[in-house]
Amino acid sequence: MKSKISQNTIFNYDRQNLDDATLLKLYRGMLKPRVIEEKMLILLRQGKVSKWFSGIGQEAISVAVTAVLDNDEYILPMHRNLAVFTMRDIPLHRLFSQWQGKANGFTKGRDRSFHFGTQEFHIIGMISHLGPQFGVADGIALANKLKNNNKVCAVFTGEGGTSEGDIHEALNVASVWKLPVLFCVENNGYGLSTPTNEQYNCEHIADRGKGYGMESHIIDGNNILEVYTKLQQLVESMRTNPRPVLLEFKTFRMRGHEEASGTKYVPTDLIDEWGLRDPLSNYENYLLEEGLLSEEMIQKFKDGFKQEIDENLALAFAEPNIEFNETNELDDVFKPFEYQEFKPNLDVENIRLIDAISEGLKQSMERHENLVIMGQDVAEYGGVFKITEGFVEQFGKDRVRNTPICESAIISTGMGLSINGFKAVVEMQFADFVSSGFNPIVNYLAKSHYRWNEKADVVVRMPCGAGVGAGPFHSQTNEAWFTHTPGLKVVYPAFPYDAKGLLATSIEDPNPVLFFEHKALYRSIRQDVPVDYYTLPLGKASLLREGIDVTIITYGAGVHWALETLDQETDINADLLDLRTLVPLDIDAIYKSVRKTGKVIILQEDSMFGGIASDISAMIMEDCFESLDAPVKRVGSMQTPIPFASNLESGYLPKEKFKKNLLTLLSY
């Protein structure tokens, strides 16, 4: 039944077969966030809230998207989607506490506004960087698809965010993998102050769907019934026929980017024009005309919401400010993980580092049915180093997934898998390429547990290192990019035995782990390695040689350079400490050895400045000064990119320098 065209609404509302209760639910759904926002604007002026991103005028989209999803279907909102939170009936006092940085919010005061998620309500909030949100939705949807549970998820962005590379990557992956995601772009005219014609140069963002090979639609985002009815059909069909859909909602941002930034740059006639298209007042008029709503009912609803807001605000205001407690802060950086020892049995085989990693990975796949491997060419091809050769045959293509070239989206996808109950191992084809996935690693994975208590059960495998004549972009050992970032564990084995056991533990551990594998050691280092599954603890260095004259601290290829030197210089009586993991760092083992020998040399393959050797050196000077008989010596590669030609590369690497410096130190 088509409604009559109203004098009092701009829209030609078509209720189709929606019942009265649904029509009223949608109205109340839009009214509530509007009333909350009006209150927030007052609190903002009173200095009781620090920042506010208004969604006034855009409520129809959040309300309808949330209304068509089941409560256990994930939604990934942005900063203008208050209605997503209210439609899921989050107690308002918790939202108010969140916005005031109080303990009863969702982040223990550690993040602001809508930057949080809650598994209880199946809402996964944004990070400031916007773009990774789409890839996380991919991961959640992939998990749904692998569970075969006929669920969809919805993710939001503004049109400004669509210019980010992460978004393009995620759309492409979703299309290639047919992931059931509703990609909701709220095109509200401005990204901060930037109008759409300075943001993109196609007519409609929905037109990009064709380029991605993805179904797409343009929807009038201010017409609640249009949004709701179209989405209802789409979601039903996506549940049975999983696929991504790109939706461009035409709407308008009626207020400033955030309240303090104002709307001076927006022509007033545009604001007036869109004011006439207000989704709430138009719909209200329609319902009044239809006889479903009366002025008394409107007043009653508003009064009810106001009372709820006041009561909940009182609760939040009464809550004391959060206290700083150093231990609490530090304790939440990582999810607690109880290391479970699987003892290596005596049955061993003599294998190379590369075989040990491959075998460790395979046995983890056997042990964890929810483990998914993703990376470029990892499936039939077996990865460029052949570590996953034969995996597809054993575990199938669902769990061993070739990816497009899109490091950022795949890391974010790993995060989404983790949120939705899976474990992920992501192979960087070369550690160098992680720079293209840097954003989600250091901003999303690293900070999730600290921010809102969510694990990031993702291991990023990093084939790294020089000595293979591969030049500046296939030789880096970039662990220092990550050891600096709280929330990431960094593992760097030098031997097959360690690599296999540490990889197993890294996969067991629900925290994000960067797992470095030195390419030059892949096929050159052999060892007896237990055949069965076993684990080794993270954060334990290994004392490879014992002596009293000097402590050598190193890891990765450096361990083998040090061993070679000690084999040549047999009269050197040294402790040789292989760190094995850089985060957590075995500080006790370092200090114990330093206090015994009184002389220390730290060797790293990476260029010196800002590397981990500098931090270890500083810690030793601060804490073991009285035990030192000489200044701590650091040895690292030259402060240049890594050159290709073998003569240049060996000049760049610190192997020769190490021997010279060691001898100088001993004679100090």
Ligand X SMILES: Cc1ncc(C[n+]2csc(CCOP(=O)(O)OP(=O)(O)O)c2C)c(N)n1
Smaller CB separation from ligand X, 192 or 548: 192
What φ, ψ does residue 177 adopt, rounded to 5°? -95, 5
The whole-angstrom distance between residue 306's C-alpha and the CA centroid of its chain comes to 37
Cα angle value 566/569/570 (rounded, 5°): 85
Residues 66-85, one symbol each (x = binds ligand X by CB under 6 A, - = not), give --------------x-----
Q: How far is the CB of 402 from ligand X (least distance, A)?
A: 28
CA dihedral sign, ordered 610, 611, 612, 613 = negative
Count residues binding ligand X (CB under 6 A): 15
The residue nearest ligand X at its CB is 158
Instruction: Select 51 or 660, whichever has its Cβ closest to ligand X.
Output: 51
Is residue 217 part of the annotated active site? The answer reads no
Answer yes or no: are the C-beta atoms of 157 and 184 closer than 8 Å: yes
Stretch binding ligand X (CB under 6 A), from 125-133, 142-150, 440-448, 525-533: 125-133
Residue 553 binds to ligand X (criterion: CB under 6 A):
no
Contact status: 418 vs ligand X (CB under 6 A): no
d(CA 406, CA 414): 12
- Of the two residues 191 and 558, which places its CB atom closer to ligand X in the complex? 191
Indicate whether 167 belongs to the interface with ligand X (CB under 6 A): no
CB of 114 to ligand X, least distance (A): 11
Strand, helix or coil at 240?
Answer: helix
The C-alpha atoms of residue 156 and residue 342 are separated, in whole angstroms, by 43
C-alpha separations of 591 from 179, 211, 553, 607, 618 in Å: 51, 58, 11, 24, 12
Longest dimension (CA), the chain: 98
Q: Which is nearer to ligand X, 190 or 534 (CB)?
A: 190
Are 252 and 223 in contact by the 8 Å Cβ rule? The answer is no
**Residue whose CB is less far from ligand X, 112 or 368:** 112
Instruction: Decide whether 190 or 286 has the Cβ nearer to ligand X.
Output: 190
State both tokens at 25.
């639910």
The DSSP element (H or E) to which 623 belongs, if any, is helix 612-623
Q: What is the DSSP letter of 123?
A: B
Of 188, 312, 475, 637, which lies in the binding site for ligand X, with binding defined by CB under 6 A?
188
Phi/psi of residue 308, each to 5°? Answer: -60, -45
Is residue 257 involved in binding ligand X (CB under 6 A)?
yes
Asked if residues 153 and 74 have their Cβ atoms less than 8 Å apart, the reply is yes
Out of 99, 190, 452, 516, name the contact with ligand X by CB under 6 A. 190
Question: If binding is defined by CB under 6 A, does position 62 make contact with ligand X?
Answer: no
The answer to whether 253 contacts ligand X (rule: CB under 6 A) is yes
Between CA 542 and CA 549, with CA 547 as vertex, the angle to 5 degrees is 125
Residue 239 within binding range of ligand X, rule CB under 6 A: no
- Using the rule CB under 6 A, give the single segment among 124-132, 175-183, 576-584, 619-627 that binds ligand X: 124-132
Asked if 159 touches ligand X (CB under 6 A), the answer is: yes
Q: Considering the complex, what minimum distance in angstroms separates the CB of residue 439 from ligand X?
A: 8
Looking at 125, 158, 244, 501, which residue binds ligand X (CB under 6 A)? 158
Residue 175 in contact with ligand X, rule: CB under 6 A: no
- The residues near 562 (Cβ < 8 Å, ≥ 6 apart) are 552, 554, 576, 603, 658
Q: Out of 474, 484, 518, 560, pick the active-site residue.
A: 474
> Taking Cα atoms as reference points, which of 486, 485, 490, 534 lies closest to residue 516?
490
128 lies in the binding site for ligand X (CB under 6 A) = yes
Residue 109, phi-psi category: left (phi > 0), alpha (psi -120 to 50), beta (remainder): left
* CB closer to ligand X, 161 vs 643: 161
Q: Is 314 a binder of ligand X (CB under 6 A)? A: no
Confirm or reject binding of residue 59 to ligand X (CB under 6 A): no
Residue 321 found at the interface with ligand X (CB under 6 A) = no
Per CB under 6 A, residues contacting ligand X are 80, 128-130, 157-161, 188, 190-192, 253, 257
Residues classed as catalytic: 474
